[in-house]
Structure 1
Amino acid sequence: MSEYDIAPPPTRLSNSVQLRFAFSKDTGTVTKFMVQLEYWLDGDWQTVVRYDHDRDAEGGHDVTEEGLHRDLYREGVKYRVEEVTGPISANKGFELAEEDLKENVQEYIRRFERWLGVKDRSNL
């Protein structure tokens, strides 16, 4: 995973669900970011959904050229990639990623629990 200049502690939404943010900026412009929804399962935080932008990383994504996409995870592995927008600024991509995860957290968590056969441990 990339190194970021700003990586505040995760925002806990319940005992078993949190949002993790990390980003770097240069003169007010986001240069790279990661926004991730996580679920506590089997003693570790599991990735549920991830957005990212890092044009310089090996295999990285550049939202200004490729558009914003959403990575869905299942059993610890990237399961599917969903295109969200066409090319946009990194600042706007970061904002949209955060909004999407906050607005759709219940949908993403319910699907994740269904995939893993977990019965409503999220308490959302």
Structure 2
Amino acid sequence: MSAPSLPTGYDVSKHVPAGRRDCLLTVGFDQHQQHIPRFLVQLHYRVATDPIEWTAIARMDHNETSALGHDVYREGLHVDVARRSQPTVHLQLPHAPLPISRGAVIRGCANYLKREAQYFVDVFEERRSPGRPPSRSDGGEPTPTFIRSGRVERSMSREAPADADMVSDEELTEMLADAEGTTPEEIERGAAELDIAPPEEATVVDE
């Protein structure tokens, strides 16, 4: 199969299924002495089919290695949401206390982007504004999705074969557990306990 470009500059970068054919997750993280100091989780959306092209429409990240990085343990979780013709929206997410395990946070972020994928697609396609219900057409149904090839985010990448880089949720959990010297069960338990509010309840930091 084909997939979006992987995050660059990380010790580990993988594709993870998003549960729908038009979306895919990418995960990148660094590992140092059973610790994960930096990670990036992105939701990609297929914006064209011939040729197939993808763009990153939502991203959650953490970086405690740089003074300019976003440290979720100091600033909380946020998600950057792209839109086709308007600036990226930055949403601050209400959430439960973060687990100490960065691997558990990564799994929680991946679960969140997967669960809320339709919201992020709707915001990208500008069928809804952040924090508001989706706009409706005259029949009260959601506006149909049209895949357009033009005017997309510059972060878009053309697909390239990447079967070797695809891992399942379970395999990702095992990789995170190995990186932190813990068990997959601990990673999954921490991710399950990380309660993140729906994006509709998030605070728009700036647009």
Is TM-score (shorter-chain normalized) higher than 0.5?
yes
The amino acid across from 1:8 in the alignment is K
Residue range with higher mean Cα deviation, 29-38 or 5-14 = 5-14
Instruction: Say whether 1:112 aligns with 2:130.
Output: no
| Aligned equivalents of 2:84, 2:58: Cα separation in 1 | 12
Deviates more, 1:87-96 or 1:15-24: 87-96
Q: Secondary structure at the match of 2:82?
A: strand
Q: Distance in 2 between matches of 1:29 and 1:21?
A: 16
Q: 1:13 to 1:92 in 2, by over 3 A?
A: closer
Partner Cα separation in structure 2 for residue 9 and residue 100 of structure 1: 16
Mark the runs of 5 or more structure 2 residues left unpaired by the alignment: 1-6, 129-142, 148-207
Q: Which has the higher contact order (CA 8 A, sep 6+)?
A: 2
Structure-2 residue corresponding to 1:102: 114
Cα distance in 2 for residues equivalent to 1:99 and 1:81: 17
Q: Which has the larger radius of gyration?
A: 2
Which is richer in strand? 1
Of 65, 68, 83, 1:56 maps to 65
2:92 is the alignment partner of 1:79: no
Name the CA shift for 1:59/1:83 in 2 (closer, same or farther; >3 Å): farther
Give the direction of change, closer, same or farther, for the CA distance of 1:40–1:59 in structure 2 (3 Å limit). farther
Residue 73 of structure 1 deviates from its aligned partner by: 1.1
Question: What's the offset of the Cα at 1:44?
Answer: 3.3
The residue matched to 1:9 in structure 2 has which SS?
Answer: strand
Q: Does 1:68 align with 2:80?
A: no
**In structure 1, the residue corresponding to 2:37 is in which secondary structure?**
strand
Q: Give how far 1:16 is off.
A: 2.8
Q: Is the 8 A contact 1:63 1:87 kept in 2?
A: no
Would you say how many aligned residue pairs link Structure 1 and Structure 2? Answer: 121
> In 2, distance between residues paired with 1:2 and 1:54?
14
Structure 2 residue identity aligned to 1:91 = G
Q: Take 2:121 and 2:107, find their aligned partners in 1: how far apart are those partners? A: 20
Question: Structure 1's 74 and 40: CA in aligned 2 closer, same or farther, altered over 3 A?
Answer: same
Q: What letter corresponds to residue 122 of structure 2 in structure 1?
A: R
Structure 1 range deviating more: 108-117 or 75-84? 108-117
Distance 1:44 1:58, change over 3 A: farther
Identity of aligned residues (%): 24
The one-letter code sitting in structure 2 at the alignment partner of 1:71 is D
Task: Name structure 1 gaps, 5 residues minimum.
Answer: none
Give TM-score scaled by structure 2 length: 0.48
